[in-house]
Amino acid sequence: MPERIGYLGLGSNVGVPRDNLAAAVAALPAHGVRVLASSSTYETEPVGDVLDQPDFLNACLRIATELEPEQLLAACKAVERELGRAAESSPGYVRHGPRPIDVDLLLLGDEPYESPRLRLPHREVTSRRFVLVPLLELEPGLTLPDGTVLADALAALPVGQRDAVRRAGEPLT
């Protein structure tokens, strides 16, 4: 199976967020995911259904993997579980709520993919400042399979939203 290049989004707002992001980077290789580069970390205001929660620390990773899309999703979920994230099916799980670690699959290779469990590119990749800013730090010219230029998507986001993104620290690798 040929290796493909992909991008993951990491987020944490429970415990010591930088340690959680670093632990995810350390855990990925055992699941068949090579981490090629990390963005800086960014402190970001919560967006989504739950706004009354601590700010997040977010970063993006460039990866290389021979895994197929569903296998890569399973690897991301396995890392989330290893780092103590409750499963969606467990009691008390809050969609968009606080979490020690979120590992989202943003892009894999140059093909879109869609199944009941997985959509690539991630459906929110063009609308979340906390994803676009670290992703463009890694790859300023990045485009989606449909030709969308991500720098244009960032420039088109409405200003004045409660979605500030501030550089917080050095890359994770």
Q: Which residues contact ligand ATP by CB under 6 A? A: 73, 88, 95-96, 102, 104-105, 117-120, 122, 124
Give the interface segment with ligand PH2, choosing from 17-25, 38-46, 66-74, 75-83 (CB under 6 A). Answer: 38-46
Least CB distance from residue 44 to ligand PH2, whole Å?
4
102 has catalytic annotation: yes
Helix 69-82 × helix 17-27 angle, to 10°: 130
Q: Which amino acid is at 52?
A: D
Quick one: how many helices (H) and strands (E) in the chain?
Answer: 4, 8
Q: Closer to ligand ATP at the Cβ: 39 or 170?
A: 39
Q: Is 88 exposed, middle or buried (0-12, 13-18, 19+ CB in 10 A)?
A: exposed
Rounded-to-integer distance, Cα 77 and Cα 112, Å: 20
- Catalytic site residue 85? yes
Tell me the sheet residues that pair with 8: 61, 105
Residue choice 11, 69, 100, 134 for contact with ligand PH2 (CB under 6 A): 11
Contact pattern for ligand PH2 over residues 112 through 151, marking x by CB under 6 A = ------------------x---------------------
Task: Give catalytic status of residue 129 as yes or no.
Answer: no
How buried is residue 154: exposed, middle or buried, by Cβ count under 10 Å (0-12/13-18/19+)?
A: middle
Q: Is 20 helix (H, G, I), strand (E, B) or coil?
A: helix
* 130 binds, options ligand ATP, ligand PH2, none, Cβ within 5 to 8 A by partner type: ligand PH2
When asked if residue 56 is in the footprint of ligand PH2 (CB under 6 A), the reply is yes
Q: Which does 46 bind (CB under 5 to 8 A by kind): ligand PH2, ligand ATP, none?
A: ligand PH2
CB of 53 to ligand PH2, least distance (A): 8
What the block records as the tokens of 50 is 């739950």
Active site residues: 85, 99, 102, 104
